[in-house]
Amino acid sequence: MSESILNLVADIGGTNIRFGLVNDDGTTSDIKTYQCDQYDSLADVISVYLALHNYAGKVINACLAIACPVETDQITMTNLPWTFSQSALKKALNISQLFLINDYTAIAHAVPLLTQAQKVQIGEGVAIANKPISICGPGTGLGVANLVPTTDGWCCLGGEGGHVDFAPVDADEIKILSYLLETKQHRISYEQLLCGRGLEQIYQAFLSIDNQPKSNLSAEQISVKAIDGSCPLCEKSLLQFCNTLGSFAGNLALTLGCFGGVYIAGGIVPRFIDFMKSSGFRQRFDAKGRLSSFINNIPTYVITEAQPGLIGASAYIRQQLSSMKGQI
């Protein structure tokens, strides 16, 4: 990176914002984390970070990964009282090129760069280079993104795949669906099972199905009790979560022909990878009837890298500036 150019990347969540500078080799340095609630606006915290790097007179390019829709100029963050105009932010900070991307677009662009140390494979399968990749991430919700290769690198296909209709495939899931339809609402999506709140709803469903007393365990409590074996119903609930996730991930593989692999992101699954390996996740991934042989060799991974957002934002800005013949 030229000394006269700063290529800034950021991963902006509801609690923290992480910044870094992109190096010539694509790595990210000078990473610093700030608490969002300590600042009145995004422009304020960016200014604080830039001031550390003597940015006056330098060309500033920026790629900001943010957990909210980014299709319009006016941005309203979902979990923060920050609203801003992309064009106004660019002008206020004298940014040459500004790229605002969804957080799952950033995670998707990180995937091709992950080393073996930054992911764990679940089951068998071998990735094929330059083939489509899918990513799904149970967390607060269920994020989904897809990558397809292009002549210039990778193109991310976003959308709201986590909100497709939930399709039960065994007797337990039919009972869970019936419970949710009776007690919650008239349409059940995969996100309503495959997120933190979803694990809680699976647990609540099994309590009702087994005629057990009500219990308001959190997703974290359910996971802990499942892993340490202290609660059979918690273990059953977490196994069901893994199984349903396997079916959903397999659906992604079928839809796009993801011979580059299917990756699990988000903050939930990395907490119980060993449990996931012993669950029916991979069996359910493969169980696609006549099309099972189509996806049996597609590998599935859990992303363990703590900062995929910064890695992906760095990859994205380099690809965009390169296509514009910018200087990295």
Binding residue positions for ATP: 10-15
- According to DSSP, the residues that pair with 137 across neighbouring strands are 143
Q: What is the pLDDT of residue 326?
A: 45
DSSP E strands in the chain: the ranges are 5-12, 16-22, 28-35, 59-66, 74-76, 83-85, 95-102, 119-122, 133-138, 142-150, 153-157, 262-264, 300-303
The reported pTM is 0.87
Q: Where are the domain boundaries for CATH 3.40.367.20 in the chain?
A: 115-304
Does the pLDDT of residue 4 top 50, yes or no? yes
CATH class of 5-102+307-323: alpha beta
123 contacts 300 by C-beta, under 8 angstroms? yes
Q: Which amino acid is at 80?
A: L
- According to DSSP, the residues that pair with 262 across neighbouring strands are 134, 300
Does the pLDDT of residue 327 top 60, yes or no? no
Closest Cα partner for 123 from 322, 11, 285? 285
- The residue that leads in pLDDT, 165 or 2, is 165
Does the pLDDT of residue 328 top 50, yes or no? no
Q: What is the pLDDT of residue 56?
A: 79
262-277: pLDDT as tens digits: 999 988 999 999 999 9
Instruction: Say how far apart CA 197 and CA 306 lie, in whole Å.
Output: 22
Average pLDDT over residues 131-141: 92
Instruction: Say how far apart CA 68 and CA 76 lie, in whole Å.
Output: 7
Q: Residues 11, 139, 41, CA angle at the centre, nearest 5°? A: 35
Q: What is the pLDDT of residue 278?
A: 96
Q: Where are the domain boundaries for CATH 3.30.420.40 in the chain?
A: 5-102+307-323
202-250: pLDDT as tens digits: 999 999 999 999 899 999 999 999 999 999 999 999 999 999 999 999 9
Binding residue positions: 10-15
149-207: pLDDT as tens digits: 998 889 999 788 899 999 999 999 999 999 999 986 788 999 999 999 999 999 999 99
CATH architecture of 115-304: 3-Layer(aba) Sandwich (3.40)
In terms of Cβ atoms closer than 10 Å to its own Cβ (0-12, 13-18, 19+), residue 39 is middle
Q: What helix, strand, coil percent values describe the chain, rounded to 5?
A: 45, 25, 35
Which residues have CB under 8 Å from 226's CB, separation 6+?
Answer: 234, 235, 237, 238, 239, 272, 275
DSSP string, 192-256: GTSSHHHHHHHHHHHHHHTTPPP----HHHHHHHHHHTS-HHHHHHHHHHHHHHHHHHHHHHHHH
Query: How many angstroms from the chain centroid is the CA of residue 223?
Result: 20
Closest Cα partner for 110 from 246, 300, 306? 306
37-95: pLDDT as tens digits: 899 999 999 999 999 988 878 899 999 999 888 889 999 887 788 999 999 999 999 99
Average pLDDT over residues 4-30: 90
